[in-house]
Amino acid sequence: MRRNAENKTLSEQAADQMIQYIQENGYGPGDKLPTEADLSRLLGVGRNTVREAVRVLASRNIVSVRQGSGTFVSEKQGLADDPFGFSFVEDRVQLTRDLMQIRVMLEPSIAALAAQNAEPEEIRQLEEILLEIEALIEAESDYSEKDTQFHAQIANCSHNTVVSRLIPVISSGVTVFAREVPSEEYKQTLLSHRAIYEAIRTRRAVEAQQAMHLHLLYNENRYTEEIRKENT
Amino acid sequence: MRRNAENKTLSEQAADQMIQYIQENGYGPGDKLPTEADLSRLLGVGRNTVREAVRVLASRNIVSVRQGSGTFVSEKQGLADDPFGFSFVEDRVQLTRDLMQIRVMLEPSIAALAAQNAEPEEIRQLEEILLEIEALIEAESDYSEKDTQFHAQIANCSHNTVVSRLIPVISSGVTVFAREVPSEEYKQTLLSHRAIYEAIRTRRAVEAQQAMHLHLLYNENRYTEEIRKENT
């Protein structure tokens, strides 16, 4: 592979050019990009290089290739799958503890921002997720996927673009509590989600922060207790 | 591309197998993996599939290929380059503000953890970085790279593995303040780094938290001021 001064291969350089092209021409998530032949002409590089560049950008979730229909700007906007390599961490208990510790540091402030910055439409979407969680909890079903969505939507409500990218990664990393859960804990989870939502809806930043703090500490405590039981 | 029930291609499945192989056989960062022929035999898949799988793992920074010497477990341990797609964000001012907001939420608590958990050797390394920053500041040179290292080392001192992965990504995203900086600001930066270091070294978690808070708010304020000047 030929590399230039910056130690980039031709296809990596073409990938950079393609990013610039996407941005300068206002392509958004889901938009179809020009064909390989057109990109080759537009960027002034060979078709093989374009193909390699597309592969690089696809692996970075910047574009997605749909067989038979072409290359599109990815809905994932460059957020990597498993960006921190969690799937490669061996000690799952330590990873879960560390993730919970970060959530306790970060999410109460995010809930406060959400109460302050959320648009009415965003709050409506949050309520929709809440109602789905409540239905799952009433049925004593697994609500972990919806729970991740709930926290992700609060991140969106904060209007901090980095938080929106970070929170789904962190909360989906914590996939525990799959086993039997006593009924009173279901009830506790139901109440704490409702409290967070109500504080955000009524623009009470301090209460949102505290309700989130309580929720996360309760979960952390529950996890510690579970691990303790497993080890005895 | 053939895809199985989980919608994974053959090479992605082989990549998963290879991750499992690496973990189960205790390979660590920098270790050399078996040859393509041996991996093909060990995983029971064709050599072309192994080659594709290696490419997938290389793009995820799980392995690295050194031309002529073989395939190694990557030192990056699966942490993606630009995992949040920052290079793909158009509004740099908004991105910088959002990153600073996260840092203010997160790093004071991390500094407190560092004061509590750091090993003597880690504190020694932190001091080394501090001295390099101080030398650069005395010379009124660009110290941004060392500054990123300083914050990354504090993250290491926290002994939270996710924090160690997260902080370098977040602090290297904030690459501003390149232009002329008044001398008194250099002095302020020098004092605040020293204060954070001293609090960590002497195990004063509360002071470490507050010194980090002050440092970050000062920077945020400086950035806001710079943007205001640019826009008038």
Q: Is B101 in Cβ contact with A161 (below 8 Å)?
A: no
Q: How much of chain A is helix, strand and coil, in % rounded to 5?
A: 65, 5, 30
Kindly report, residue by residue over B22-74, the tens digit of the pLDDT: 888 888 889 999 999 999 999 999 998 998 888 878 877 889 888 888 999 98
* pLDDT band at B173; cut points 50, 70, 90: confident
How far apart are the C-alpha atoms of B4 and B194, rounded to whole Å?
A: 56
In chain B, how many H helices and how many E strands? 9, 2
Q: Mean per-residue pLDDT for A11-25?
A: 86
The pLDDT assigned to A68 comes to 84
Inform me whether the C-beta atom of residue A27 falls under 8 Å from chain B C-beta atoms.
no
With beta carbons under 8 A apart, name residues in chain A contacting B80: 60, 80, 82-85
Q: Is A47 in contact with A65 (CB distance < 8 Å)?
A: no
- Say yes or no: A77 contacts chain B, CB-CB below 8 A: yes
Name B164's Cβ contacts closer than 8 Å, sequence gap at least 6.
B152, B155, B156, B158
Whether the CB-CB separation of A48 and A9 falls below 8 Å is answered with no
| Lowest pLDDT segment from A144-158, B3-17, B19-33 | B3-17
Taking residues A54-58, report their average pLDDT: 85
**Mean pLDDT, to the nearest integer, of B165-170?**
89
Read off the pLDDT band of B178 (50, 70, 90): very low
Kindly state the average pLDDT of the residues B74-86. Answer: 80
**Per-residue pLDDT averaged across A37-63, rounded?**
88
A residues 45..64 contacting B (CB < 8 A): 56, 59-62
Taking only the tens place, the pLDDT of each residue in A177-203 is 444 566 677 788 889 999 999 999 999
Q: At what angle do helices A10-24 and A47-59 cross, to 10 degrees?
A: 70
Long-range contacts of residues A41-50, Cβ cutoff 8 Å, at least 24 apart: A43/A14, A43/A17, A43/A18, A45/A10, A45/A14, A45/A17, A49/A10, A49/A11, A49/A14, A50/A14
Task: Pick from A21, A51, A105 the residue to mutate for testing the B interface (most B CBs within 10 Å).
Answer: A105
pLDDT at B41: 94
Cβ of residue A170 closer than 8 Å to a chain B Cβ: yes
Give the three-state DSSP class for A71: strand
Give the pLDDT of residue A4: 46
Q: In the structure, what pLDDT confidence band is assigned to residue B8 with cuts at 50, 70 and 90?
A: low
| β strands within A9-153, DSSP E | 63-66, 70-73
Strand A63-66 versus strand A70-73 pairing type: antiparallel
User: What's the pLDDT at B10?
Assistant: 80
A32-41, A114-123, B77-86, B149-158: which range is least confident on average? Answer: B77-86
Asked whether the predicted pLDDT for residue A70 surpasses 80, the reply is yes
Contact B84 A80 (CB under 8 A): yes
Best of B88, B94, B159 to substitute, by most chain A Cβ atoms within 10 angstroms, is B88
Q: Which residue has the tokens 């797609």?
A: B85
Among residues B13, B43, B12, B10, the alpha carbon closest in space to that of B25 is found at: B43
As a whole number of angstroms, the distance between CA B206 and CA A59 comes to: 43
Query: B187 versus B96: which is more confidently predicted?
Result: B96
What's the CA gap between B96 and A19, in Å, rounded? Answer: 20
Give the pLDDT of residue B89. 77
Residue B7 region by backbone torsions, left for phi larger than 0, else alpha for psi between -120 and 50, else beta? left
**What mean pLDDT is reported for chain A?**
87
CB A167 within 8 A of CB A151: yes
Question: Could you count the other beta carbons within 10 Å of the beta carbon of residue A4?
Answer: 10
- Report the pLDDT value the prediction gives residue B180, as an integer from 0 to 100: 54
Q: What is the pLDDT of residue B119?
A: 98
DSSP 8-state class, residue B146? H
B214 contacts chain A (CB < 8 A): no
**Cα–Cα distance for residue pair B14/B41, rounded to 1 Å:** 12
**Backbone angles phi and psi of B63, in degrees to 5:** -125, 165
**pTM for this model (two decimals):** 0.79
- State the Cα angle at A199 between A195 and A201, rounded to 5°: 115
When pLDDT is averaged across residues B153-159 and rounded to a whole number, the result is 97
| Dihedral sign (CA A131, A133, A134, A135) | positive
Residue B93 and residue B108: Cα distance in Å, rounded?
23
Instruction: Examine the pLDDT at B182 and tell me if it is beyond 70.
Output: no
Q: Mean pLDDT over all residues of chain B? A: 87
